[in-house]
Amino acid sequence: MAAQIEKLKDSGWAWAEYEPDAERPWNLAQAGHLYRRAAFGAGWDQLQQALTDGPQRTIDILLQPQGDIAEFNRTYDEYEAATGSMDQLRAWWLRRMIQTPHPLLEKMTLFWHSHFATNAAEVKSARLMQQHVLLLRNQALGSFRILLEGISQDSAMLLWLGAEANRKARPNENLARALMENFTLGPGHYTAKDLQEASRAFTGWFVLRSKLRYIPREHDENEKQILGRKGNFARDDVLRIILEQPATSRRLVCKLYRWLISETDKPEEDLIAPLAESFAKDYDVLKLVETMLRSNLFFSPAAYRRRIKCPAEFAIGIVNALEESVSTTQLANDLTDLGQNLYDPPTIKGWAGGKHWINSTAIVARRNLAAALLRGSGPYGNKLNPLVVAQRHGYATHESVRQFLLDLFLQSDLDSDVYDSPQKPVSGKDDGMEEQTRSLAYAIVTLPEFNLA
């Protein structure tokens, strides 16, 4: 154990590519771990294929799936662009998360949605919010540099920040503050003067009738001093200077570490340093994500079940495991009750995540949602039937179905005798094996372990 801890402190070993061996085999638990972090869980066929393919081939597919991803995205973009309300947008995004052939892309879009938090209630335009999330998706695994440039010109973001007007005579600090405080450098890495000078560099930009406009006479052409640099800076210069600061790449790597590796322990500076240095060279998100997913650290106990699932991960994990879709209009409403209202992060800091997802009220709400999803009636109908899924894969006896569900939802990393005691039927009545199977599935997905990614 001591030797393992020492290895985790060694950045060379930690970020080297994981190669299974007798001590650290590639197995169902590791496959499930990968799909929880790089997707929204997995169905049985995906888990079995992963066992056959091995970790690196499975990661290849998650990073660059086969099939026409562009066509899938175009189809969904058209549907979403035609919607007239935020409720429809939320439903379509959830359907996209469930049906996407590129789950890592949607997972990273959700990550950036919290990082660049923009609230629809303030923007008051479904069209602008749809364009905002499309911007996130287009660069979710692309260039953070391009993404930041897009965000600085995004009408939804500017409206949400109250930065829709920036006049030379009265510079608006809201965008500069959000960029430095929340999106890049973080607290302690800039001064009030830096903020004021950056705001002057952003003058001239306005959102008029929902469109970004530049009015040259409103731009401050005088010299500015920002983060130790002097010049007649404009918007793009500010972004360039911010991205050149080591604090920016370091903070983003730490945030992605929390999303993909672990949110329980703050990583040591020596561990983060090589990734931050590499990321700062090109701000290539895909390359950074790939390094993390392929690493020894990712497949170590230090990363296993070290993050609490957000409500979307919790719910879609159940849906994907049971190989069907459900009413995403209803699901969007239920996720709101669990604290994750898509397109409406609570503050500029997004969702806090971690233990904030779990309190007495949230736990009850998660159990109620699990019961509703697994019940053979109600708002979700009879879409999800664990017995049908088990039988589809060749499991028909009580014992084999029980083991199948353990493998499917938890990859059997707990002792099966945990589930030996009878469970209360989710419908309130006992209708035989189907109801018993629903109740067993409910018992599994309401365990603490299923709530961990």
How many residues in the chain? Answer: 453
Q: Read off the pLDDT of residues 276-300 as tens digits, 9 standing for 90 and up.
A: 999 999 999 999 999 999 999 999 9
In 306-349, where do the E strands start and end? none
Interatomic CA distance for residues 166 and 207, integer angstroms: 9
Cβ neighbours for 429, distance < 8 A, ≥ 6 positions apart: 435
**pLDDT (tens digit per residue) in 323-364:** 999 999 999 999 999 999 999 999 999 999 999 999 899 999
Question: What's the pLDDT tens digit per position in 203-250?
Answer: 999 999 999 999 999 999 999 999 999 999 999 999 999 999 999 999
- 11 vs 17: CA distance, rounded Å: 12
Rg for the chain (alpha carbons), in Å? 24
pLDDT tops 80 at residue 82: no
pTM: 0.94
> Nearest Cα to 176, choosing from 156, 146, 148?
148
Beta-carbon contacts of residue 88 (< 8 Å; ≥ 6 apart): 126, 329
- Helices then strands, counting H and E runs in the chain, come out as 24, 4
- Whole-number Å distance between alpha carbons of 303 and 297: 7
Q: Is 70 exposed, middle or buried (0-12, 13-18, 19+ CB in 10 A)?
A: exposed
For 40-72, write each residue's pLDDT tens digit: 999 999 999 999 999 999 999 999 998 889 999
Domain segments of the chain: what residues?
311-451
- What is the DSSP track for 3-70? HHHHHHH-HHHHTSBP---SSS---HHHHHHHHHHHSS---HHHHHHHHHH-HHHHHHHHHS-SS-HH
Q: Give the dihedral of Cα atoms 8, 9, 13, 18; nearest 10 deg.
A: 20
- Identify the pLDDT of residue 421: 45
Residue type, 34: L
Q: Which two tokens stand for residue 53?
A: 């393919």
- Identity of the residue numbered 378: G
